[in-house]
Structure 1
Amino acid sequence: MKTTIDQVYKHLDNDVTIGAWLANKRSSGKIAFLQLRDGTGFMQGVVVKAEVEEEVFELAKKLTQESSIYVTGTIVKDERSPLGYEMQVKGLELIHEAVDYPITPKNHGTEFLMDHRHLWLRSKRQHAIMKIRNEVIRATYEFFNTNGFAKIDPPILTGASAEGTTELFHTKYFEEDAYLSQSGQLYMEAAAMAFGKVFSFGPTFRAEKSKTRRHLIEFWMIEPEMAFMDHEDSLQLQEQYVAYVVKSVLDNCKIELNTLERDVAKLEKITAPFPRITYDDAVAFLKDKGFDDIEWGDDFGAPHETAIAESYEKPVFITHYPTELKAFYMKPDPNRPEVVLCADLIAPEGYGEIIGGSQRIDDLELMEQRYEEHDLTGPAYQWYLELRKYGSVPHSGFGLGLERTVAWISGTEHVRETIPFPRLLNRLYP
């Protein structure tokens, strides 16, 4: 019977065949230990010379790293294995012999590994990170589908910036100028006016010349938008969503978290509600911590966010940023118009902002004023203004950066390892 490594628990003490690659091996004369992988997981196959035909043992000894094989044997329990099972091998069939595989068990430099990203993905560590990424995505769909959201797909090619900034990738759209999307948010607001609660999941692009461990040129965003929801409603949804995703990873990625040696005790503390501080309080806190350069009206950088996060075991909301720091569409606090009804969610352990969100301006006159202040003229933004003209309602939304979230949950230092093929300032290959 054919099966996969993640399903061997169903076949205890039975013979099965698995299509696999040889990740590594070691032998001691009369026994060979084959480290097998098949895409679903990793498992050891044990070949005992006295228990198999001679040609099977000879093949086991000659197998090279990343050769593809069919391996047949009996599934037995093995308490020492992270999987809990191993195979007592009875038969081997070579599919393809790999020669001079470039990524050996020795240490390699990061640039070398990135140049061979198409192969590096096969390693146990990279496999674990990608499985956690997959679980975050799966749990995201589950959470929003369960809570009555419709998935709506915004365009990637747009006629203007969602944020009103210049950090855009420009292209030609026949005779017109076009840009790669920085965010689907404006389109999701239109969708929320049609469907109530919506979310999108797709690639976004930032032409920001940054080399930090938190930045990618191309990354993926989850962007929910909700009609008839105010700022407080949105904050509650955000913390419920993040807590749900973390629990899903804890429940369904135990092997992967163990492979990465992640301290799961820290993740087990991630339950709603999350702590909150205002921007005002954050500035005062930073000054007390010796950040004498920070003044009210300044944006926070990575060292500031890390200092704030270190005071909490859970993600922390920083709310009510100065109006001048944030995008044109954010709703001012009615009681204090110099700040907006917004929040950044800062992850623990130095991983920085993972969510940015706000209540949106729903008043036509105020939005027209914002258009004038930000010089948003022409047809590219006219349709967005019309959302305030025809049945405007209070509404809120947020965007979660997938790669930063995966980096935090998996305990991975650099976001380049949390996306299959990263696009960095100096990298467009492979």
Structure 2
Amino acid sequence: MDICKKELCTGCGLCEYVCPQQCISKVIGKEGVAYPYIDENICISCGKCQKLCPANNKIETHEIKEVYAGWHTEEEQRRKSASGGIAFALYQYAIEHGLYVCGCYMNAEHKAKFSITNVRKEIDKFANSKYVWSDLTGVYRRIKELVSKEEKILFIGTPCQVAAVKQLAENIRAEDSIVLVEVLCHGMAPEEYLLQHIKKVEQNKKKKAFYIKFRDEKFGTSKYYFTMSDKQGNIFYKKNVQDNDVYQFGFHKNVSLRENCYNCRYAKQERVADIALSDYYGLGTCQPKVSYGSENVSCIMINTQKGKEFFEDLVMNKYIYADKRPVEEPFNAQGTLKRPIKKNAKREEFLRKYRECQNFDQAMEEVFHKDLVKNHVRVCLHTHELFEFSRRVLKKIFPEKIINKVKKYTR
């Protein structure tokens, strides 16, 4: 029995939680992706998993009512965050005002997990981006327990994860007890790909990775440096897409995402959460113009009255700075507000190769050999740095649209 169409399954795990027989578990298939598996010997065909699955339901969405450019008022926290540090400010405000918070962190095994806490020092681990599928196991049960005690919760996750928590909230009639915040995402790569990549780097470097970061703030979060560090915090691996980190290459080039990401039901203007956050692409493309750049600036989209009140408290208590922008501005450049991510033309070739070798790095290197060689040549010739310098100069002379066309044909 299929719970939902495979190409729509986000791996949210809500089916596992709701199953009265506990006969559903995640199993990694030949393509390295985890999907729910039903033990037919235990299943009683009650249909609860299918009934609650977000992929089988029309999830309520909201039109974006207000848009702000914003950032954390603490400069150091803003610098360390993936964009403007708004998610971290939300965590801070929530805990300091008696709410529990639910966020994602990387555990010691380099797996992305969700946890719920009301302890201030525990939210530091939620900071920065995690470009990998993240596990919600245990979260639904904990949310139900807290709601039964009349506790309030702030949940921050990707749109599909928010949709799953929203389904749970409706099921247990707890909509008023949970503030939902979605972080617009590029997609999720399977956990197995990341673990294989880390293992390969560890073997090559003959070192053990104790910490990893997908957008290391030491080098500027806008440069997307993927780093690995030893037990003492010394970085022994530092690469981004241009430097041929194959994990980052596969993620940002739309090769290695879960299949549901290419069929995302939440990649549209109407939002599923009370508040939506993203990097601020397209900042300043509408009037009035801005006097600041887009680096370390978040786009804050207010979608419900609950979200508006929470956001206004955040501003009033000086956790963040916010500058109101035209509602239509993010639509000019934020692709996932219009449509799902488009598959890389070589994705199917990559999947075929992966099924054969069961090795992420090997499959990427064989399928994208020419692309990786071109990247290496560009790095050696410093063409990326030269282009960025030229772009900054030309931007003062030519319109942004012309510059972007030049960028398209020179990379």
- Give TM-score scaled by structure 2 length: 0.21
Judging by fraction of residues, say which structure has more helix: 2
Q: Which has the higher contact order (CA 8 A, sep 6+)?
A: 2
Judging by fraction of residues, say which structure has more strand: 1
- Give TM-score scaled by structure 1 length: 0.20
